[in-house]
Structures are given as structure tokens and as C-alpha cells.
Structure 1
Amino acid sequence: MTDLLAIAYPWIKAFHIMAVISWMAGIFYLPRLFVYHVEQKNGVDPIFEMMEEKLLRVIMNPAMVVTWVLGLCLVFTPGIVDWGSVWPWVKAAGVLAMTWFHHWLAKRRKDFKEGRNTLTGRQYRMMNEVPTLLMVVIVLAVVVRF
């Protein structure tokens, strides 16, 4: 199995990067949709609800799963990760935090759907900075390998 992972490494890495880009696009956009949703003056436009639902279910969830599966394939490829270094642990913590944020967004989507949202547009704007900070940590950990 490890030989197969080593042979397929460039393909796994390429598809992993594509999945990460898709996941991050959704993670950046969904909180922005929540801002528009919560700041609607004339009631909630059903288009926001549809956009939020489709973004989460059709793009973000599958992209997160593919990111995780291919990321684990990369982790188990011999010679790729030196667990004696700091960077893989920092990246792992960042990815776990990004996954938590994804699930936090899914919970907020459910709150909107059930009419229980209590957060303001300002709060969603502030939370929209979380994935940017996590992205910086993850990318620096992988590229700089500190």
C-alpha cells in the first residue's frame, strides 16, 4: 500500500490542493452570505437560504471530506512527514481548527434555517477572519517547515 501511495504521490497532492482550494472558497464565502442574510431589511430572501444550503452541502462538505482523505494519504506516504518536526503538528492543529470552524458554520446555517440566529452581521464579519488566520498558519507550517 505504501508503494502505491509513493507512486501516486504527485496526483494525490494535486487533487488535495484542488480540494483545499474548493473548501477554502466555501469557508470564506459562507460567513459573508450570513452577513447579508442577517442584515436583510425586508425579511429573508429565500435565495440566501438556498445559496447557503447549496454552498455547504454541495461544495464545502464534499471538499472537506476529499481534503481530509487525500491529506491522510499524504501523511501515510513514506518519507513525506517527519513527525519529529514542529510543522506537521502545527498544520494538524490548524486543520483541526478549520474543521471545527466548518462545523460551527454548519451549526449557524441550521440556526438560520430554524429561525434561531442570534449573531449580528458584525460578529459574522469578525468570524470571517478566522479561516484567513488559520490558512496563514497552515500554509506557513507546510511551506516554511519550521
Structure 2
Amino acid sequence: MFFIHSLSKIESFVLLFMAFDRFIAICNPLRYASILTPLRIAKMGLVAVVRSVALILPLPILLKRFRYCRDNVLSHSYCLHQDIMKVACSDISVNSIYGLFVKVVTDGLDSFLIFLSYVMILKTVLSIASHRECLRALGLFRHLSEQHLWLVC
């Protein structure tokens, strides 16, 4: 359970890194190599691993304190946290709140930051070019000929 959930949190962070990489490549292309050095990339990878372990490590510890009294048949072969909580006879409110916190911190925050990076990319692309060049850069009106594009702009 621990490793599968940890890897899913690392995956979320990798998507965030990819959005950051695109942001740097588009908004600051001349400084790309100086901003994203191999050492900095290694540090970002270490942050991803430490964050996922720090967020997932309390889950098995919280589950260990429960008393279990129901059938021990789970719906998934990899011990889904929610399934294990269902077979517990104890109060599971702490686990529910912590699970919600982990979901919001990882998926919610990472999704927001990815969205923010793409908004900043769009802002940069739209600010450096004319209206016609913006349409071309965004891939709009690609199927129109040069004369039609001139009429639209």
C-alpha cells in the first residue's frame, strides 16, 4: 500500500515539474540551462520523494492503531486505504480527515500550480507578439491560407 500510494504522489509532482519545465523553456529560453541545472533537477526529484513519503507514511501508522472486526476481504489487491478503514470497528474520523488533507495537498495544489504555469505561458506568448502572430503561435487558423489569416487579423 505504501509504495503504490507514494508513487502516485510522485507522479503528481512529476507532472508539476513538467509544467515548470515548459514554463521556463517558453518564458525564459535563454536562461533555461542556467535555471534548470542537473543539481537543481536532482533536488526537485528529492523533494518529490520526500514529500510523497512524508504524506503517505502516517497512513499505515494510523491504520495500525485500529481494531478490526469485520471480514477482511478487500476490493483491491493493493490494500486501498479506504477499504481497510471500512473493515475497522474503531472511529475512523482522523483517517478520513487526513486522507482528505493529502488529496487536497497533492492533487489540488499540484493541479492549481500546473494551471497557473500554463496561464503564465499563455500570458507570455500573447504579450510578445502581434495579434496575427499570437493566432499562429497558438495554432489557431492553421488551416486557413495566408490571405484568409490577414482578413481575420
Indicate whether the TM-score tops 0.5. Answer: no
Q: Which of these two proteins has the greater Rg computed from alpha carbons?
A: 2
Q: Which has the higher helix share?
A: 1
- Normalized against structure 1, the TM-score is what? 0.34
Task: Flag the structure with more relative contact order, 1 or 2, with Cα contacts below 8 A and sequence separation at least 6.
Answer: 1
